[in-house]
Amino acid sequence: MTHAVIAATGLFTPEQSISNAELVEAYNAWADQWNRDHALQIAEGDVAALTPSSVEFIEKASGIKSRFVLDKAGILDPKRMAPNLPERSNDELSIMAEMAVRAARQAIEAWGKPVSEIGAVLCAASNMPRPYPALAVEIQQALGIEGFGFDMNVACSSATFGIKTAADFIASGSVKAVLMVNPEICSAHLNFTDRDSHFIFGDVCTAVIVESSDTAGPGGWDVLGTRLKTVFSNNIRNNFGFLNRWAEETGAGPTERAAGQQDDKLFIQQGRKVFKDVVPLVSDMIVDHAGELGIEPTGLKRMWLHQANINMNQMIGRKVLGRDPEPQENVIILDEYANTSSAGSIIAFHLNQQGFETGEVGLICSFGAGYSAGTVFVRKR
């Protein structure tokens, strides 16, 4: 019976990285200036003084130690506090498409087959650079792939939703192979003037080739089952969109953001509520899906979870395995990459596939805004 196989993966990592110490220095310089500019209001009790950030606070809250970004200078400039990513002409390859092409080419090289065998391109990410034309179609064009492509956005769960969609295309016989990419420039929607979240995100792109078992060569991973779930919540939100142009309030450029205005046009979340809601939702979903597939969750060889927060990942790992996971069982890469939205679980999978024997089972799992969650159980071929 035809089923889907994860045949290859690819990863593009930016050259620039920001340490927690560098990020804290920039934020504290900005916050000190803000406090000086608003000294009168602070003295009169109209506004609260901003609290400094610290390396210790960031690592305790998240487990993050550094993050890769496309533009370090703009983020660390206390007068800007945002990446500087110049707009490209319509005749140039867009920056997100460029990231995706680089990750895709790595996956295609590992796959070892011509792109003519790929029938669809899915671009699954938290934010797209424009409404149309679809980024996936631009990537398709740049790689010389026939067939079709489209974009999809399910925030941090976009990659697992993309794998599920690709697997369904395979099962239906629509195509024999699908390229699914996850370009994430998370630094562009992060408010670096918000102490509670200025450290969360990094930039990266991952790529996955999903192929029919009828044509797959040796190696790779059989997709045993996929499950998706969404539950509406406002606890993670970003209100930036084309309708903002017609609202009466001011825009959301760097100047307005630095003044503390229009914060909802960037990433915002209520972290404690997210933790309380998402951990049981995801843990129960994993256990239920495993049971449906006849898999004993406590016997999973490895979990490649969404890299959001080390405390969430450790808690989910304990709930699923029934004990504290060993480091090799519950992969953590967010210390180096930070939260890279949809790409996080795929980075973990791409970098930590070693040590599997044929027949051993692992789990790719995502969770995030929506709320959304996806589970993909895989077995080493």
> How far is it, in rounded angstroms, from Cα 142 to Cα 94?
10
DSSP string of 82-103? Answer: S---PPPPTTSPPHHHHHHHHH
> How far is it, in rounded angstroms, from Cα 181 to Cα 103?
8
The closest alpha carbon to 186, from 206, 212, 209, 172, belongs to 206
The pair of structure tokens assigned to 5 is: 């196989």
Alpha carbon 364 to chain centroid, angstroms: 13
Contact present, 305 and 373 (Cβ < 8 Å): no
Q: From the CB of residue 205, how many other CB atoms can be counted at a distance below 10 Å?
A: 30
Burial class of 299 by CB neighbour count within 10 A (0 to 12, 13 to 18, 19+): exposed
Contact present, 253 and 82 (Cβ < 8 Å): no
The closest alpha carbon to 106, from 354, 346, 359, 331, belongs to 346
SS3 44: coil
Non-local CB neighbours of 116 within 8 Å, separated by 6+ positions:
145, 146
Verify whether residue 365 is a known catalytic residue.
Answer: no
- Among the listed residues 156, 186, 205, 365, the single catalytic one is 156
Q: Catalytic residues, which ones?
A: 156
